[in-house]
Amino acid sequence: TAATAQMATHGVDISLTAVAEQAGVGIATLYRNFPARDDLIRAVLADLEGRMLALVERYRPRIAVDPDGAWQEFGREVAALRPGALVAAFAAEFVTGDQLSEPLTQERVHSLAAVQQILEDAKQAGLVRADLTAVQFQLGIAQITRPLPDVAVPELARHQAWLVDVYLRGLRP
């Protein structure tokens, strides 16, 4: 969504006008759907969770047919969600001290459970080490997709697939 893309690029302090423009709606429409910035941030969190669950659902059957190809594509598509950029945005909104708020806790539980399922498939196919956890997998992807200074952004886009490939190869047994 427009808000997800803007938030991944600019954090939670995004211009709501820019979100509305990118979505092709007026600012009044945006405010009708998301009366407060928190509502928009929660919608982005729900969008990320839904997209992650959809990726797992799409790639689990493919791993049985083409294990290596499906695993590589899954990793690239997870990275394309830019979770590392969004985690920083969500932390500002949903973390107090060392406590996660309820929406972030729920999203994390659902996403980790889904990722654990596809990791089990990947383990069975010999694609990843037996001791790899969903948390470890997600932390690695988050590191690869963390925001970099603006000057490095063009380089990141060009090399992100390579970084994901290196990361996924490093997870092999």
Q: pLDDT tens across 25-42, in order?
A: 999 998 999 998 888 888
- Residue 151's pLDDT is 56
Q: Taking 80 as the threshold, does the pLDDT of residue 152 lie above it?
A: no
Tokens standing for residue 55: 């990726």
Q: Of the candidates 1, 104, 109, which has an alpha carbon nearest to the alpha carbon of residue 47?
A: 1
- Residue 69's pLDDT is 96
Least reliable range by pLDDT among 17-21, 25-29, 67-71, 154-158: 154-158
Tokens standing for residue 89: 């945005």
- Residue 51's pLDDT is 94
pLDDT in tens, 44-71: 888 888 999 999 999 999 999 999 999 9
- Residue 88's pLDDT is 72
Q: Is 129 helix (H, G, I), strand (E, B) or coil?
A: coil
- Residue 120's pLDDT is 97
Q: Taking 70 as the threshold, does the pLDDT of residue 154 lie above it?
A: no
Q: Which of 12-21, 76-85, 88-97, 151-160 has the highest mean pLDDT?
A: 76-85
Q: Please, which pLDDT band fits residue 157 given cuts at 50, 70 and 90? A: low
- Report DSSP letters for 8-63, one per residue: HHH-TT--HHHHHHHHTS-HHHHHHH-SSHHHHHHHHHHHHHHHHHHHHHHHHHHH
Mean pLDDT of 124-152: 87
Q: Which residue has the higher pLDDT, 132 or 3?
A: 132
d(CA 3, CA 9): 10
In the chain, the percentage of residues whose pLDDT exceeds 70 is: 86
Residues 6+ apart with CB under 8 A from 20: 2, 26, 27, 29, 30
CATH code 2.160.10.10 for 45-170: no
Token pair 């669950």 in the structure block, residue? 53
Tell me how far the alpha carbon of residue 142 is from its chain's centroid.
8
d(CA 156, CA 160): 6
Instruction: Please state the domain extents for the chain.
Output: 45-170
Q: Is 127 helix (H, G, I), strand (E, B) or coil?
A: coil
